[in-house]
Amino acid sequence: MFARALIQYNSATASVSTNARLRWEYQAGSELFVVYNEESYTSSLGGPGLPTRSIIVKVNRLFHYRLARLRPRPTSMEAPPR
């Protein structure tokens, strides 16, 4: 399980952005991500403005395909492979 966070201030737009990400690899090659984003602008009076917030959940799943299942099986009339 891994966690990352980032806080940025943009002086041109007077905004503060926050991003936090949690990553969990529950099987080899399969992951769950939970991301939190927030952006706040300072109002013209100098106080904090209304923030914009979002939570995103993403799941990756690795599938293994076996080639043996894709080959046709011999019928009873065919000779078995050598």
- Of 12, 6, 5, the C-alpha closest to 41 is 12
Distance CA 15, CA 1 (A): 30
- Of 6, 9, 1, the C-alpha closest to 20 is 6
Residue 78 pLDDT: 61
Distance CA 14, CA 54 (A): 20
13-68 per-position pLDDT tens digit: 888 999 999 999 998 889 999 999 999 887 666 666 778 999 999 999 988 776 55
Domain borders along the chain are: 2-70
54-67 per-position pLDDT tens digit: 999 999 998 877 65
